[in-house]
């Protein structure tokens, strides 16, 4: 099979018939074999019934439906939908797109060509000209993508674009979970698929319904980006992070303590000489434990110990993980 189209959807019944018609027309015109995997992410508007209806209308030369459906019992999110779709995909090239008709099916042949002929592992769409609200989507999206490029090192203008094309082996070697569908190019890069391209794609206004994503996705996106960066950098060596931070905090505590003691001894020596010269016999000094810096030093030392213990525990978890020696091997002989 040439192409697998994976579509995740949530309450998009009105657009499904038009989407399938356009996708089928574009791919059939190129003489390619295909399948459309539609993952219903807990819709309650009759989307699943529409998928079942369409599956009976679009058949291949052998009389088998080209539309396959997966229906979740509840809404799990786009990452879960893509994970299940990727598991089932059989095409040499896997293309993901949204069900809201904002992604243009006419882009499919060129995306397919870039993977098959140009040898890209992954090609991501770039919605250079968008028809979304400027303040709620465009500006936050630009800021988010700029940060993602800096953190991940993947130089894409629109990492979160739903229209992407992959070699089949890419989707079989990455695990999309949580909200990590936003960072699939980075997951692919970390799995060893470094030839990642980009294509400017047409973007259309939403024709039916309303967007299922709000501003919260950008906040969650940044948090997920930090989590992903941490897991990739320190997932198998957490002590390298917690150990350094713990040592730094502990040293800060020790330095502050030594400073307090040294300062007290110096002042005590100076004042003792002055008092002796004046004929006094007693000397009263402020106790070390009465100084705010002492508690700051104690706090820093305790934090350092806690970070060390966190690192040790994380190492124990990492060493006992069933995936501790899981590596992506390209070939062997």
Which DSSP helix (H) or strand (E) runs through 164?
strand 164-167
pLDDT of residue 282: 57
232 phi and psi angles, rounded to 5 deg? -75, -35
Phi-psi region of 27 (alpha: psi -120 to 50; beta: other; left: phi over 0): alpha
User: pLDDT value at position 168?
Assistant: 96
C-beta separation of 171 from 164 below 8 A: no
**What letter does residue 197 receive in the DSSP assignment?**
E
* Main-chain phi, psi angles of 309, to 5 degrees: -65, -40
Decide the pairing of beta strands 122-126 and 3-9: unpaired
Q: Which CATH superfamily is domain 3-233 in?
A: Spore Coat Polysaccharide Biosynthesis Protein SpsA; Chain A (3.90.550.10)
The reported pLDDT for the residue numbered 325 is: 60
What is the DSSP annotation of 87-144? Answer: HH--SSEEEEEESSS-B-GGGHHHHHHHHHTS--SEEEEE-SS--S-IIIIIHHHHHH
- Helix and strand counts by DSSP (H, E) for the chain: 10, 7
pLDDT reported for residue 289: 72
Q: What does the DSSP 8-state code read for residue 203? A: B
Per-residue pLDDT of the chain (333 residues; tens, 9 = 90+): 999 999 999 999 999 999 999 999 999 999 999 999 999 999 999 999 999 999 999 999 889 999 999 999 999 989 999 999 999 999 999 999 999 999 999 999 999 999 999 999 999 999 888 766 555 566 777 787 888 888 888 889 888 889 999 999 999 999 888 788 888 998 899 888 989 999 999 988 877 767 655 556 667 777 777 777 787 778 778 888 888 999 999 999 999 988 888 887 887 777 766 666 665 555 566 676 777 888 899 999 999 999 989 988 888 887 776 666 665 666 666
d(CA 243, CA 262): 28
């Amino acid at each position: 099979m040439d192409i697998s189209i994976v579509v995740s959807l949530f309450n998009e019944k009105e657009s499904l018939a038009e989407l399938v018609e356009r996708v089928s027309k574009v791919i059939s015109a190129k003489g390619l074999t295909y399948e459309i995997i539609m993952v219903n992410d807990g819709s309650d508007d009759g989307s699943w019934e529409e998928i079942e209806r369409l599956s009976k209308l679009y058949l291949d030369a052998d009389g088998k439906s080209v539309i396959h459906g997966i229906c979740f019992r509840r809404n799990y999110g786009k990452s879960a939908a893509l994970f299940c779709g990727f598991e089932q995909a059989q095409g040499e090239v896997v293309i993901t797109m949204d069900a809201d008709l904002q992604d243009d099916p006419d882009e499919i042949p060129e995306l397919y060509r870039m993977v098959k002929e140009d040898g890209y592992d992954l090609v991501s769409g770039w919605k250079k000209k968008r028809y979304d609200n400027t303040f709620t989507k465009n500006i936050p999206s630009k800021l988010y993508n700029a940060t993602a490029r800096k953190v991940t090192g993947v130089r894409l203008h629109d990492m979160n674009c739903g229209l992407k094309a992959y070699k089949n082996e890419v989707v079989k070697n990455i695990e999309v979970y949580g909200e990590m569908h936003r960072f699939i190019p980075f997951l692919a890069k970390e799995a060893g698929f470094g030839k990642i391209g980009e294509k400017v794609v047409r973007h259309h206004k939403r024709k039916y319904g309303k967007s299922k994503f709000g501003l919260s996705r950008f906040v969650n996106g940044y948090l997920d980006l930090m989590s992903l960066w941490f897991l990739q950098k320190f997932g198998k060596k957490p002590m390298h992070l917690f150990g350094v931070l713990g040592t730094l905090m502990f040293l800060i505590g020790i330095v502050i303590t030594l400073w307090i003691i040294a300062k007290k001894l110096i002042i005590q020596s100076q004042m003792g000489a002055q008092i002796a010269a004046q004929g006094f016999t007693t000397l009263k000094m402020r106790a070390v434990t009465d100084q705010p810096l002492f508690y700051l030093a104690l706090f820093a030392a305790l934090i350092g110990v806690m970070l060390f213990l966190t690192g040790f525990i994380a190492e124990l978890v990492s060493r006992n993980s069933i995936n501790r020696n899981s590596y992506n091997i390209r070939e062997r002989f």
